Amino acid sequence: MLRAVIVKEFRHLFRDKVSFLLLFLMPAFLVLMLGYALSFQVHHHDIQVFNATHSAQAERLFARLDANPVLYVCGRVDRIEDIEPAFSRGNTRAVVMYADDGIHLFVEATNTMLGRSVETQISKVIGQFAADENPLPSAQVIKEIPTRYIYNPSLKHGYNSVTGLMMLIFILVNAIVLGTSINREKSQGSWRLLSVTQLGMGRIVLGKTIPFIAISLLHVAMLYGVCIHFDIEVMGSLGLFFAIQFLYIFCCMALGILIAAWFDRPLDVLILSWVILFLPNVFLSGFVFPLSSMEGAVRDVAELLPGTAFITAFRNIAFKGTGLMQNLPYILTLVAETLLALVFAIPGFKRTVPR
């Protein structure tokens, strides 16, 4: 009898897709991500340089910076007025200016951890360069390097945490809770009754989502209040600031609807929402682990996540003051994922729901 129970349990585990996912695929994913792909060690920083003196010594310093395996000189600045705008284009983390009065360092500090990291790496290179070029102790030279932190001069940690926390709140409310709410209708049999009314599937789903949209309005207002409380000034357009949040909210809703359409048990929807939506967006969006610490296929997958697009666009708009064109790739990513999720959800709702 015991053997029969054991065999029965094994058959159940391998037959149930969600149990198989949790027992085998999920541990493999966590080992791969946390043991190999993800790290707090940043592999490279994009920096730019400004040779205000047009000297050969400055060029030797810049060559030394570019030779560092962690630093990559991705461009040059021609005027001092162009230093701050240089941070709004691409992923520039720092600008090193060689002037008549010494070396000046400008660091993008919306992510304080990355800001400190690039400052440390550049200071090491400059210290070694100074030791090779002149007899002054490198420690003394490093102390003389003025550093200006762009967008976050006081190095407030709220700049990094606010966007990530709101990303997770939107996933929880608009994807996980909405998905389980729709699935509860299916498991209790009320979805079948609603589907035979004149409302149609589209209006039924819309009726389920409108309360969550109203709740999301409160969350958006809360986010704006948090920014005011922490003295985080919204540098860009307020219209674009709110638009990117609502676009991400609709994307989360569409993904939650997609999962609810194809799975019938509430527990399955809850587990899959955490595994497919919550965990990847926590670890791969740049909220916990910086994108510059990821390489290869992991970086490619991270770039496609809705959380990555939201965090990057939000930081660009709110903290850097960039406009629509600079954030168009991230906006198109969220729009495309929203539409694809809704398109693939339609066949799931049309299939026969088991009693």
Specify the CATH number for the domain of residue 54.
3.40.1710.10
The domain of 140 spans 45-150
Residue 200 sits in the same domain as residue 301: yes
- In whole angstroms, give the CA distance from residue 204 to residue 343: 16
Residue 174 sits in the same domain as residue 323: yes
Residue 7 lies in a domain: no
pLDDT reported for residue 61: 92
User: Above 90 in pLDDT, residue 253?
Assistant: yes
pLDDT in tens, 311-339: 999 988 988 888 899 899 999 999 999 99
* Mean pLDDT on 232-239: 86
The domain boundary residue, chosen from 150, 171, 197: 150
Residue 26 lies in a domain: no
Residue 118 sits in the same domain as residue 190: no
Residue 28 lies in a domain: no
User: Above 90 in pLDDT, residue 129?
Assistant: no
Residue 163 sits in the same domain as residue 227: yes
Residue 138 lies in a domain: yes
Write phi, then psi, for 127 (nearest 5 degrees).
Answer: -60, -45
Residue 76 lies in a domain: yes
User: Above 90 in pLDDT, residue 227?
Assistant: no
Sheet with 92-99: strands ordered across: 71-76, 45-51, 92-99, 102-108, 147-150
255 contacts 345 by C-beta, under 8 angstroms: no
What's the total number of domains in the chain?
2
- 252 or 290, which is more confident? 252
Residue 96 sits in the same domain as residue 234: no
Residue 129 sits in the same domain as residue 240: no
Residue 145 lies in a domain: yes
The domain boundary residue, chosen from 90, 122, 150: 150
Residue 201 sits in the same domain as residue 230: yes
Burial of 40 (0-12, 13-18, 19+ CB in 10 A): exposed
Residue keyed to tokens 């070694």: 128
Residue 144 sits in the same domain as residue 170: no
96 contacts 47 by C-beta, under 8 angstroms: yes
Relative to beta strand 71-76, strand 147-150 is unpaired
pLDDT reported for residue 183: 81
* Mean pLDDT on 134-148: 60
Residue 170: CB partners within 8 Å, gap ≥ 6? Answer: 216, 219, 245, 248, 249, 252, 310
Residue 177 sits in the same domain as residue 65: no
Residue 301 lies in a domain: yes
Residue 116 sits in the same domain as residue 240: no
Mean pLDDT of the chain: 82
Residue keyed to tokens 């740049």: 286
pLDDT in tens, 4-15: 666 766 676 667
* Single pTM value for the model: 0.81
Residue 244 sits in the same domain as residue 106: no
Q: Which of 232, 206, 276, 214 is nearest to 22 (CA)?
A: 276
User: Above 70 in pLDDT, residue 24?
Assistant: no
User: Above 50 in pLDDT, residue 142?
Assistant: no
User: Residue 61: how many CB atoms within 10 A of its CB?
Assistant: 21
Residue 121 sits in the same domain as residue 267: no
Residue 8 lies in a domain: no
The domain boundary residue, chosen from 150, 175, 203: 150
